[in-house]
Chains A and B, each alone.
Chain A
Amino acid sequence: MTGNVGIVIVSHSPDVARGTADMVRQMVGEEVPLAWCGGASGGGLGSSVEAITAAIDRAWSDKGVAILVDLGGAELNSEMAVELLSQERRDKVVVCNAPIVEGAVIAATEASGGASLDEVRRTAEELSPA
């Protein structure tokens, strides 16, 4: 495990999440803790608080974790997962308002250079219209 901010990718579709993670690995490399999840618990498109919580755990870094999401349900479920974390972890996890693929690559690139959680989030969110 490195000292870099971790990245979690949450899509409604496991294929999209896995594919986005593949792109991050290929473009950014192994310097960043990375985890993905996609699909509802029990199968089908959707997002699962349990799976998101587990992904946060896999990508955990003491510098924090940035979550990239695709659509509404993934965002709400990610926010819910963050709220259910322990107090000391909760403040180190952010859900980025950024497009999932571009956001994940940019966030991971920023993280791989040792940036803080705040810098990672800000860089990803520059991709979204204000």
Chain B
Amino acid sequence: MDITAATRRALIEGVADSVIRHADELTGLDQAIGDGDHGINMRRGFEAVLADLDRLAALPLPEALHAIGMILVMKVGGASGPLYGTLFMELGRGLPVTPGLADMAAALDAAVAAVKRRGKSDAGYKTMLDVLIPVLETLKSGHPGGLSGLAAAAAEATRPMKAVRGRASFLGDRSIGHVDPGARSSALMIGAICETLEAAP
């Protein structure tokens, strides 16, 4: 798939706008089971990304992803900074300039593994991985239709889970019954990416 500068720009704007638009919702989710700053932190990170939009969109896809990851690492301020930063930087490391579906699956596979290491986390721990792993499995299957809905449903499926990592784990059983804010922000990003790529010329 040829990802033009215009598409890169639309992807970055789409992901950033979606996160920023839902910042209050993410903070609300985080107030229930975390330290209540996920939306604030993510908004700060993606506002910094948007402030650099012209430069980022002009970079080839791998370099753009790596640069976005670095901005998130530097600006987000919470645990989500290194986690999302690692995700984007690893995607940048793994993707070719013109990726096909198999390239995307392979790059996401490596990026998910890096996020697992960074967060000392895995599937079922009530984290962003509970969205990213099902998305990865779908990409690997070669039939990525309905990915956006799948990501949203995967985020919702964190509701009955008990948190094992992060601040939410301090709550133990009381973390059950709330959607994980990191799972929700991941689903928002996947949704924005799908929407942009479907609309791309």
Interface mask (A49-79 → B, CB under 8 Å = 1, otherwise 0): 1100000000000000000000111011101
B151 → A minimal CB distance (Å) = 23
> Per a CB cutoff under 8 Å, which of B73, B77, B119, B165 touches A46?
B77
> Per a CB cutoff under 8 Å, which of A12, A42, A77 touches B81?
A77
Asked whether B37 is an interface residue with its Cβ less than 8 Å from the other chain, the reply is yes
Q: Which residues of A contact B77 (CB under 8 A)?
A: 40-42, 44, 46-48, 73, 77
B19 → A minimal CB distance (Å) = 16
B39 → A minimal CB distance (Å) = 12
Contact in complex: B40, A80 (CB < 8 Å): no
Q: Which residues of B contact A79 (CB under 8 A)?
A: 82, 118
Closest B residue to A84 using CB positions: B73
Contact in complex: A76, B41 (CB < 8 Å): no
Closest A residue to B34 using CB positions: A72
Taking residues whose C-beta sits less than 8 angstroms from the other chain, chain A's interface range is 20 to 34
Contact in complex: A42, B82 (CB < 8 Å): no
B126 → A minimal CB distance (Å) = 14
Q: How far does the alpha carbon of A78 sit from the alpha carbon of B62 in the complex, in Å? A: 25
Interface mask (B39-78 → A, CB under 8 Å = 1, otherwise 0): 0110010000000000000000000000000000111111
Asked whether B167 is an interface residue with its Cβ less than 8 Å from the other chain, the reply is yes
| A46/B37 contact (C-beta < 8 A), A40-B77, A41-B75, A41-B77 known | yes
Interface of A is mostly: loop
Closest B residue to A53 using CB positions: B74
B132 → A minimal CB distance (Å) = 17
Contact in complex: A49, B74 (CB < 8 Å): yes
Asked whether A45 is an interface residue with its Cβ less than 8 Å from the other chain, the reply is yes
Asked whether B139 is an interface residue with its Cβ less than 8 Å from the other chain, the reply is no
B108 → A minimal CB distance (Å) = 20
> Per a CB cutoff under 8 Å, which of A45, A46, A76 touches B118?
A76
Contact in complex: A45, B37 (CB < 8 Å): yes
> Per a CB cutoff under 8 Å, which of B40, B44, B75, B82 touches A76?
B82
Contact in complex: A40, B82 (CB < 8 Å): no
Residues of A within 8 A of B (CB): 12, 40-42, 44-50, 71-73, 75-77, 79-80, 84
Residues of B within 8 A of A (CB): 35, 37, 40-41, 44, 73-83, 85-86, 118-119, 165-167
Would you list 11 pairs from A and B whose C-beta atoms are within 8 A, ordered by A residue? A40-B76, A41-B77, A46-B77, A49-B82, A50-B74, A71-B35, A72-B79, A72-B165, A73-B35, A73-B79, A76-B119
